[in-house]
Amino acid sequence: MNTAKQKLGHPAFLLSVLLLLLNDWLLKPVFHNDLTGKLSDFAGLFAFPFFLSAFFPAHKKTMHIATAVLFVWWKSEWSQPFIDGLNALQIPADRVVDTTDLVTLISVLFSYFVFTNQAIYRLKRLAFHLVLASTAFAFMATSMASRQYTFNKTYMFDCSKQKLVAAFNTLQLQYLSNFKSSLDFDRQTGVFHHKGHADTVAYLLDYKKLKDTDTIPYRTRYCRILITGDNRNSRLQLVSAVNYAPPPPVPWRPSPQRTIRQFEKRVIKKLNQYIKRDY
């Protein structure tokens, strides 16, 4: 086995692959927030050019530059026709255009620096093939597949419409705490969106402005719901929602049933808890 391939035993490379797997199998499905997206980018931008350079050491600089260029293209609007083409072929693909993600390009420089270091970590043939298989699997499963489903499912609440709106706003604020400082907030509209682009992540419902509205709509890139009711009872209707799951070859696929289960676990169950706390 040549010296370049032995570099795949470097602790930094192995850690980046482990982080990719941990993030995609555990952290993304549980949290699916801006932090998990950044972790994938940091780990992937280190591991991918490092891996390619191990097989094409004479072109290691080209591999790292090409990785950076492709990442910038993927995170730009220029890649949208390609994504639309994949979705047309029933291959789920999506990404958020967020200029703050470009900070993760520092991993490409770090990868090049570590790879050009003279340190060698000896791998036996079996260990090498295990690293090879794990890395290939991590690269294939590094993006979250998503699919939007339409529903007409109504949930009843034994509380006023105002109280349900208050609980829903509380739920949103709890959810948004996972994003830390990666969001911008428009005080006039109550909208939260990722820094650098206008996709609505969430927005607070102003009940004073909406109290005379029979049906209160709520819509983001993740879900669409309708809230109705009166001073005694209220209803939340799920119109559509997006389900996220790792892409092939992982057998865990988006489905309407999984989408409903996730929505009920992350929204309906928590709304009932907040309502019982007398919000």
Q: How far apart are the first and last CA of the chain?
A: 65
User: Within this chain, do residues 106 and 214 fall inside the same structural domain, yes or no?
Assistant: no
Task: Map residue 141 onto helix, strand or coil.
Answer: coil
d(CA 102, CA 42): 10
Q: Say if CB 68 and CB 108 are below 8 A apart.
A: yes
Q: Where are the alpha helices (DSSP H) in 123-263?
A: 125-140, 161-176, 207-210, 256-263
> What pLDDT score was predicted for residue 95?
66
Instruction: Show which of 84, 106, 140 is a domain's final residue.
Output: 140
Report the helix count and the strand count for the chain, using DSSP H and E: 12, 7
Structural domain harbouring 182: 147-276
How many other C-beta atoms lie within 10 A of the C-beta of residue 167?
24
**What stretch of H or E contains 88?**
helix 80-88
> What pLDDT score was predicted for residue 2?
62
**What stretch of H or E contains 60?**
helix 60-74
User: Within this chain, do residues 82 and 102 fall inside the same structural domain, yes or no?
Assistant: yes
CATH code for position 161: 3.30.530
Number of domains observed in the structure of the chain: 2
> What pLDDT score was predicted for residue 66?
94
* 175 Cβ contact partners less than 8 Å away, ≥ 6 residues apart: 202
User: Within this chain, do residues 152 and 256 fall inside the same structural domain, yes or no?
Assistant: yes
Across the chain, which has 279 residues, the per-10-residue mean pLDDT values are 76 88 71 71 91 91 94 84 66 65 90 84 76 75 66 94 94 77 72 67 86 88 89 94 62 75 91 82
* 261 Cβ contact partners less than 8 Å away, ≥ 6 residues apart: none
> What pLDDT score was predicted for residue 239?
94
Q: What pTM, to 2 d.p., does this model score?
A: 0.56
* 169 Cβ contact partners less than 8 Å away, ≥ 6 residues apart: 204, 205
User: Within this chain, do residues 152 and 133 fall inside the same structural domain, yes or no?
Assistant: no
